[in-house]
Amino acid sequence: MFRLILSLAYKNAFLRRSRALLLIVMIAVSMSMMLALEGLYDGMTASMVEKTKRSDSGEVSIYAKEFRQERTIQENIKDAKKIQEELLLRKDVKSVSLRLQADGLCATAKKSSFATLIGIELEDEQGFGDFSEFLETGSLTLRGHKTVVGKELAKDLKLKIGSKVIFSTQDMSGEITAVALRVSAIVQTNNIALDKGTMYVNRELLRKLLQMPKNSATQIAIRSDNTRLAQELSAQYPDLDVKSFLALYPMMEQMQEITVIFNSITFFIVMLVVFIGIMGVTYVSVLERVREFGVMRSLGMPYSAIKSQILFEALFVAMVGYILGAFFGFSALYYLENYGLDLKEFADGLESFGYASVLYADMKYDYFITSFAAIFIASVLSVLLPLRRLRKMSVIEATKLQI
Amino acid sequence: MIKVENLNKYFYKGESREVHALKNINLEIKSAEFSLLSGASGCGKTTLLNAIGALDTIDSGEIWLEDVSIGTLSEEQRTKLRLEKIGFVFQAYNLVPVLSVFENIGFIMQLRGFEKEFIAGRVEELAKILEIEDKLHELPAKLSGGEQQRVAVARAVAAKPKIILADEPTANLDSLNSQRLMEMMQHLNESEGVSILFASHDDYVKQKVKRIITMQDGAIIDS
């Protein structure tokens, strides 16, 4: 009997071709748009998270206990080099970068601004987060007294490549000290805090300027896939302040949650439309064929078989819509993942929120699984009302039979 | 084979417009009978066929199909009984529009889970008797009224029910097709041994049947 039910369902599902086609197109278009939107939302957030990790914290950062509260260089990690070597021996650690950072005043002949000078090793940073990808203009070098400046800070101080700038701060003994620097490059990390107030110099230059001990650092940033690394390192270095990315950037966690909410709302709206679409078509289709169902019941077809037939009719159309939607959605996501959505015209606005001007999608296979499940459930739910209507009718009423 | 005892059926029971549609009906139909329910329009022929066919409920009395009392069955049990023991031929043919002639004839056999080979053999056998063997792969919409009714007869008889109930099967057919259909049904009655109970006004049907049960105002006046 199952084959008969399937055959009846298949033939009836596509009997009224234009109606079935409309429903299929509606499901396919709304689903592919939804997938593309979901991918873009996730891609925007993932890109922001990744750039923040690459430019600053990594997955885990280690500081001296009071550094993050006091922001003074006296709170530094004295044996940072040794810790770096220990960390690099771990298989779950991909790279480690030591940084020195000092808050101070950055001044040109015409303007000054509060800034943070970060001492880095370019080679380490390249391995840590492809630092050269942040380059906007200039040549990425920190030799001598060269400095790399964040884009917004450069804009604020009207700095160009080759501009001279004085950075003054306090050294380890509390004395005011200053260094003259020449801008070699301007970078944009899309980490708003860094772009607005950071300059980079060679770590050794900054160490000497601040008269800090050799092998010391204010931050040890670590890249790793181990999600429990922060807890493990906290236990290993109880005298240091070990923080995970989300502990350092709680806003990012909120961003991720907001993205999930946006995606859920989009998903709900699309699935509601799909549900109403399938239910409308199924309802009309069932009402048109009440007599036919009555005849089949009078011939001895059980109600359960008719129920299955109607359910399969809805599922056949919905699944064709799903397959097309998945195909177009995959194509859109593939394009957006590889080529991105170019919104350079809105670059200023996007960048002020920390987004890149070219948005790339993030394709997750979950999208296709949850869409399949939702469309399946929507199909099942959508036949309940038509079936209820049919169930209420007696065989004679349904057929108006004169047997 | 079918025994109806003191059957009563009302429409709009308890309302001012109450109709006593079947009045104390007593009737027996034996195996392989070829009989007709006759009477004026509104006399209760269709109501009695609906009750015997387990399509409608009754208010009092008993209907026995072999050893089963139809009145006590649930909706699902009545559906099963119709599937296994009763064949129907409708005035408006009522073929399943999306199924081919072959699939329509085999419909009840498929519902009953018969073997594919058996279904194919039986469909071809009946198609030959009813002269529709060249139409097996057509959809019902492409057939004439006479051909559609022959497909409906083949569907009704295919799974070898105990009785076939046919309400005005010739009403939508011209005289030539009516004669052909009745001859074929008579042949099936004799060759298959299936009881057939008609409800009809058609004089030609009256001529062909072996027994006429006459109804008037919901009661049997002559059987």
The strand pairing partners of B196, in sequence order, are B34, B164
Question: Residue A100 and residue A199: Cα distance in Å, rounded?
Answer: 12
Q: Does residue B7 have a pLDDT over 50?
A: yes
- Number of C-alpha atoms within 13 angstroms, CB side, residue A331? 9
Q: What CA–CA distances, in Å, run from A74 to A68, A215, A247, B9? A: 12, 14, 23, 103
How far does B129 lie from chain A, in Å, by closest CA?
A: 22
How far does A298 lie from chain B, in Å, by closest CA?
A: 7
Q: Does residue B47 have a pLDDT over 80?
A: yes
pLDDT grade, residue A400 (50/70/90)? low
B147 touches chain A (CB under 8 A): no
Determine phi and psi for A91, rounding to 5 degrees.
Answer: -75, -25
**What is the DSSP code string of B39-76?**
-STTSSHHHHHHHHTTSS--SEEEEEETTEEGGG--HH
List the one residue out of B85, B57, B82 whose CA is nearest residue B72: B57
- Mutate which: B55, B74, B91, vs A, most A CBs within 10 A: B55
Question: Residue A218 and residue B125: Cα distance in Å, rounded?
Answer: 94
Question: Residue B197 and residue B48: Cα distance in Å, rounded?
Answer: 11
- Number of C-alpha atoms within 13 angstroms, CB side, residue A147? 29
Measured in residues, chain A has a length of 403
The mean pLDDT value for A312-331 works out to: 95
How far does B192 lie from chain A, in Å, by closest CA?
A: 19
CB pairs under 8 A between A and B: 81
E strands, B79-210, where?
86-89, 163-167, 195-199
A12 touches chain B (CB under 8 A): yes
Residues of A in contact with B155 (CB under 8 A): 299
Across the interface, do B84 and A300 touch by the CB < 8 Å criterion?
yes
The DSSP code for B173 is: S
A288 touches chain B (CB under 8 A): no
Q: Does residue A119 have a pLDDT over 80?
A: yes
Question: Residue A352 and residue A356: Cα distance in Å, rounded?
Answer: 9
The strand pairing partners of B213, in sequence order, are B37
Q: Using one digit for the tens of pLDDT, what is the confidence trace for A185-206?
A: 999 988 888 899 999 999 999 9
Where in chain A are the domains? 2-52+252-399, 60-225
List the one residue out of A71, A27, A8 whose CA is nearest residue A197: A71
| Range with lowest mean pLDDT among A66-80, A282-296, B24-38, B170-184 | B170-184
Where in chain B are the domains? 2-222
Nearest-5° angle of CA A276, CA A277, CA A283? Answer: 85
The beta-carbon neighbor of B94 closest among A295, A395, A396 is A295
The beta-carbon neighbor of A403 closest among B55, B98, B113 is B55
How far does B120 lie from chain A, in Å, by closest CA?
A: 14
ipTM of the complex: 0.89
The strand pairing partners of A359, in sequence order, are A341
Residues of B in contact with A395 (CB under 8 A): 55
pLDDT value for A237: 94
A299 touches chain B (CB under 8 A): yes
Evaluate whether A106 touches A113 at the Cβ level (below 8 Å). Answer: yes
Q: Using one digit for the tens of pLDDT, what is the confidence trace for A91-107?
A: 999 999 999 999 999 99
Across the interface, do B88 and A399 touch by the CB < 8 Å criterion?
no
**What is the DSSP code string of A66-100?**
THHHH--TTS-BTTHHHHHHHHHHSTTEEEEEEEE
Q: Does residue A384 have a pLDDT over 60?
A: yes
The beta-carbon neighbor of A396 closest among B55, B94, B165 is B55
Determine phi and psi for B13, rounding to 5 degrees.
Answer: -60, 135
pLDDT value for A186: 96
Determine phi and psi for A355, rounding to 5 degrees.
Answer: -95, 150
pLDDT grade, residue B222 (50/70/90)? confident
Residues of A in contact with B97 (CB under 8 A): 292
The mean pLDDT value for A40-47 works out to: 90
- Find the residue in A nearest to B96 (Cα): A292
Tokens 């399943």, residue located: B96
Across the interface, do A15 and B98 touch by the CB < 8 Å criterion?
yes
Q: Does residue B90 have a pLDDT over 90?
A: no
Report which of residues B93 and B124 the model is more confident about. B124
Question: Residue A310 and residue A390: Cα distance in Å, rounded?
Answer: 11
Residues of B in contact with A305 (CB under 8 A): 111
SS3 B1: coil
Question: Residue B68 and residue B73: Cα distance in Å, rounded?
Answer: 9
| Range with lowest mean pLDDT among A37-46, A288-297, A311-320, A385-394 | A385-394
Question: Residue B75 and residue B56: Cα distance in Å, rounded?
Answer: 10
Question: Residue A187 and residue A161: Cα distance in Å, rounded?
Answer: 11
Q: Does residue A354 have a pLDDT over 90?
A: no
Across the interface, do B55 and A401 touch by the CB < 8 Å criterion?
yes
Question: Residue A9 and residue A24: Cα distance in Å, rounded?
Answer: 16
Question: Residue A52 and residue A128: Cα distance in Å, rounded?
Answer: 12
Residues of A in contact with B79 (CB under 8 A): 297, 300-303
Residues of A in contact with B110 (CB under 8 A): 1, 3-4
Residues of A in contact with B82 (CB under 8 A): 298-300
Question: Residue B200 and residue B213: Cα distance in Å, rounded?
Answer: 11
The beta-carbon neighbor of B46 closest among A1, A302, A403 is A403
Across the interface, do A403 and B53 touch by the CB < 8 Å criterion?
yes
Evaluate whether A371 touches A265 at the Cβ level (below 8 Å). Answer: no
Instruction: Quote the percentage of chain B above a pLDDT of 90.
Output: 50
A290 touches chain B (CB under 8 A): no
The mean pLDDT value for A51-72 works out to: 92
Q: Does residue A149 have a pLDDT over 50?
A: yes
Record the tokens describing residue B165, joined without a space: 């109930």
Mind spelling out the 3-state secondary structure of A209-246? HHCCCCCCECEEEEEECCCCHHHHHHHHCCCEEEEEHH
A396 touches chain B (CB under 8 A): yes
B99 touches chain A (CB under 8 A): yes
Q: Using one digit for the tens of pLDDT, what is the confidence trace for A223-238?
A: 999 999 999 999 999 9
B97 touches chain A (CB under 8 A): yes
pLDDT value for A401: 39
Question: Residue A380 and residue A312: Cα distance in Å, rounded?
Answer: 9
Q: Are strands A93-107 and A112-120 parallel, antiparallel or unpaired?
A: antiparallel
B107 touches chain A (CB under 8 A): yes
Evaluate whether B197 touches B29 at the Cβ level (below 8 Å). Answer: yes
Across the interface, do A401 and B50 touch by the CB < 8 Å criterion?
yes
Instruction: Quote the percentage of chain A above a pLDDT of 70.
Output: 99
Across the interface, do B97 and A292 touch by the CB < 8 Å criterion?
yes
Report which of residues A392 and A89 the model is more confident about. A89
pLDDT value for B148: 93
The mean pLDDT value for A57-68 works out to: 93
Question: Residue A334 and residue A354: Cα distance in Å, rounded?
Answer: 24
Q: Does residue B204 have a pLDDT over 90?
A: no
Q: Using one digit for the tens of pLDDT, what is the confidence trace for A239-251?
A: 999 999 999 999 8
pLDDT grade, residue B79 (50/70/90)? very high
- Find the residue in B nearest to A292 (Cα): B96
pLDDT value for B13: 84
Evaluate whether A149 touches A115 at the Cβ level (below 8 Å). Answer: no
Evaluate whether B197 touches B189 at the Cβ level (below 8 Å). Answer: no
Mean of pLDDT over chain A: 91
| Range with lowest mean pLDDT among A155-169, A372-386, B139-153, B162-176 | B162-176
Mean of pLDDT over chain B: 90
B110 touches chain A (CB under 8 A): yes
The mean pLDDT value for A282-288 works out to: 88
Q: Does residue A398 have a pLDDT over 90?
A: no
Give residue A113's Cα distance to chain centre. Answer: 33
The CATH class of B2-222 is alpha beta
Evaluate whether B171 touches B134 at the Cβ level (below 8 Å). Answer: no
pLDDT value for A403: 38
